[in-house]
């Protein structure tokens, strides 16, 4: 197994380790297949409160409350969920709450489901328009470093930062 | 008086929203309070500005979830979310999310005038029989209260401070619009003020 292939198998663990290092305590999420391993790791850590949401915007409110109470968090979702967040992002940007979001991309690389394509195309520009600093992981070996950079800008500069994890990194969902 | 209450077959509301908010935060001690945008933010300011208040001027539907994040981060402190029926209706899913987490220190109280007061007193769903306490009970809140009069309000107040949460209450109030009392709308200031008062 070459090193690139090896990295592709460990990137969720690399991200988890980065989140531990950044002292993340609250992990609201709407599940995505691409986040499966990371959600499992967070749920298994008693120092983290992994909270399943009914819709992604709930996580933006929750993490504002977490920061008010002195805790750091991260919101996990897939690209379709970004569309659900737009107005609630004003809470983070107006009050300058640190907000870290990890977004697994659909609708961009070998996508089977046409219903994923609108938000696959729109996620980056929409987040930028809403005032979020957008980072992107296109190679699995960059995962930890990118998440750490986004966490630092979020928590040290009181900004909303998103990390988009490319569909090519996650692997394309196959219906068969 | 209220056509809505005639539809629901219940007596018209008698409680006044400002008096209700004053009662909720009286002798608050170190209670942390989040208010939903619009009337409940003005009510909370009218009851007395406080560094442990977090006033929303937007982010409709987000109040209860801010309360959850705060309650999880500060398990030794009591957290009160006081919001309106319109704001709560926009974030109904958050009741299900909160019920799954069962935070013992969180109370969500809806001051329910059955109206969108901010936009011209249009009726909300609660004017047409939508039963918020029943919804809270259905998603798993154990401590659920429907308050319509002074006696029921008096019975609720000690529970807000002592009963294990998560607690949900809906308090029916008259649809009057008291004069504006506006707290700061500077979100950065309100955020930093609360953090400094709470975390030092």
The residues spanned by each domain of chain B are 3-199
Contact A173, A112 (CB under 8 A): yes
Question: Which of A 58-77 lie inside 8 A of B, CB atoms?
Answer: 58-71, 73
- Is pLDDT above 60 for B8? no
How many Cβ atoms from other residues are within 10 Å of residue A6's Cβ? 11
Per-residue burial over A7-23, b = 16 or more CB atoms within 10 Å of its CB, e = otherwise = bbebbbebbbbbbeebe
Chain B residues closer than 8 Å to A43 by CB? none
Which pLDDT score is estimated for B161?
Answer: 87
When pLDDT is cut at 50, 70 and 90, the band that residue B9 belongs to is: low
Q: Look at B93 and A55 and tell me if their CB atoms are within 8 Å.
A: yes
What fold characterizes domain B3-199? Rossmann fold (3.40.50)
Q: Look at B58 and A87 and tell me if their CB atoms are within 8 Å.
A: yes
Report the DSSP beta bridge partners of residue B79: B32, B106
Chain A residues closer than 8 Å to B56 by CB? 91
Positive or negative, the CA dihedral A23, A28, A32, A36 is positive
Q: Look at B74 and A70 and tell me if their CB atoms are within 8 Å.
A: yes
Query: Which residue in chain B has the smallest CA separation from A86?
Result: B59
pTM of the model: 0.95
Which pLDDT score is estimated for A167?
Answer: 95
Q: Look at A68 and B100 and tell me if their CB atoms are within 8 Å.
A: no
Contact A159, A165 (CB under 8 A): no
Tens-place pLDDT, residues B10-65: 789 999 999 999 999 999 999 999 999 999 999 999 999 999 999 999 999 999 99
Q: Look at B70 and A65 and tell me if their CB atoms are within 8 Å.
A: yes
Query: Which residue in chain A has the smallest CA separation from B192?
Result: A68
Which pLDDT score is estimated for A174?
Answer: 59
Task: Tell how strand A72-73 and strand A24-29 pair up.
Answer: parallel
Work out the mean pLDDT of chain B and round it to a whole number.
Answer: 94
CA–CA dist B161, B105 (Å, integer): 9
Query: Which residue in chain B has the smallest CA separation from A94?
Result: B187
Chain centroid to Cα A129, Å, comes to 18
Instruction: Indicate the SS3 state at residue A173.
Output: coil
CA–CA dist A70, A77 (Å, integer): 23
Query: Which residue in chain A has the smallest CA separation from B66?
Result: A65
Which pLDDT score is estimated for A176?
Answer: 56
Among A61, A74, A100, A155, the residue to mutate for chain B (most B Cβ within 10 A): A61
Q: Look at A71 and B73 and tell me if their CB atoms are within 8 Å.
A: yes
How many Cβ atoms from other residues are within 10 Å of residue A138's Cβ? 13
- Is pLDDT above 70 for B6? no
Summarize the confidence of residues B64-71 as an average pLDDT: 98
3-state secondary structure chain B: CCHHHHHHCCCCCCECHHHHHHHHHCCCCCCEEEECCCHHHHHHHHCCCCCCEEECCCCCCCHHHHHHHHHHHCCCCCEEEEEEHHHHHHCHHHHHHHHHHCCCCEEEEEEECCEEHHHCCEECHHHHCCCHHHHHHHHCCCEEEEECCHHHHHHHHHHHHHCCCCEEEEEEECCCCCCCCCCCCCHHHHHHHHHHHHHC
Chain centroid to Cα A14, Å, comes to 14
Is A95 in CB contact (< 8 Å) with chain B?
A: yes
CA of A58 vs chain B CAs: smallest distance (Å): 6
Chain centroid to Cα B173, Å, comes to 12
Which pLDDT score is estimated for B2?
Answer: 39
> Which residue's structure tokens are 């328009």?
A129
Is A114 in CB contact (< 8 Å) with chain B?
A: no
The residues spanned by each domain of chain A are 3-170
Query: Which residue in chain A has the smallest CA separation from B36?
Result: A61
Domain at A3-170, CATH class:
alpha beta
Q: Per-residue pLDDT for chain A (176 aa), expressed as one digit of tens each?
A: 445 554 457 999 999 999 999 999 999 999 999 999 999 999 999 999 999 999 999 999 999 999 999 999 999 999 999 999 999 999 999 999 999 999 999 999 989 999 999 999 999 999 999 999 999 999 999 999 999 999 999 999 999 999 999 999 997 655 55
Which pLDDT score is estimated for A171?
Answer: 79
């Amino acid at each position: 197994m070459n090193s690139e292939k090896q990295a592709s198998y460990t990137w969720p663990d690399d991200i988890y380790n980065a989140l531990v290092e950044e002292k993340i305590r609250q992990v609201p999420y709407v599940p995505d297949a691409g986040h499966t391993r990371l959600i499992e790791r967070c749920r298994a850590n008693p120092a983290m409160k992994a909270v399943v949401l009914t819709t992604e915007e709930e996580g933006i409110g929750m993490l504002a409350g977490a920061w008010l109470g002195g805790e750091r968090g991260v919101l996990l979702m897939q690209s379709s969920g970004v569309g659900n967040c737009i107005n609630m992002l004003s809470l983070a940007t107006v009050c300058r709450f640190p907000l870290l979001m990890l977004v697994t991309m659909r609708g961009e690389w070998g996508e089977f489901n046409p219903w994923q394509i609108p938000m696959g195309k729109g996620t980056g520009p929409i987040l930028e328009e809403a005032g979020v600093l957008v980072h992107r992981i296109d190679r699995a070996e960059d995962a930890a470093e990118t998440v750490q950079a986004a966490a630092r800008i979020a928590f040290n500069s009181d900004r909303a930062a998103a990390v988009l994890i490319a569909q090519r990194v996650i692997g394309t969902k196959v219906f068969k | 008086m209220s056509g809505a209450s005639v539809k629901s077959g219940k007596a018209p509301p008698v409680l006044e929203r400002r008096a209700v908010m004053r009662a909720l935060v009286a002798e608050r001690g170190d209670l942390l309070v989040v208010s939903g945008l619009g009337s409940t933010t003005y009510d909370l300011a009218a009851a007395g500005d406080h560094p442990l208040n977090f006033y929303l001027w937007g982010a409709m539907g987000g109040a209860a979830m801010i309360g959850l994040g705060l309650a999880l981060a500060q398990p030794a402190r009591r957290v009160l979310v006081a919001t309106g029926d319109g704001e709560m209706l926009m974030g109904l899913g958050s009741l299900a999310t909160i019920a799954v987490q069962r935070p013992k220190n969180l109370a969500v109280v809806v001051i329910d005038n059955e109206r969108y007061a901010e936009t011209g007193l249009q009726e909300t769903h609660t004017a047409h029989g939508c039963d918020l306490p029943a919804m809270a009970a259905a998603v798993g809140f154990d401590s659920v209260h429907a308050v319509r009069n002074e006696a029921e309000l008096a019975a609720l107040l000690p529970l807000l401070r002592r009963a294990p949460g998560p607690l949900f209450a809906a308090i029916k109030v008259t649809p009057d619009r008291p004069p504006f009392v506006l707290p700061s709308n500077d979100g950065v200031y309100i955020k930093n003020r609360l953090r400094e008062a709470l975390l030092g």
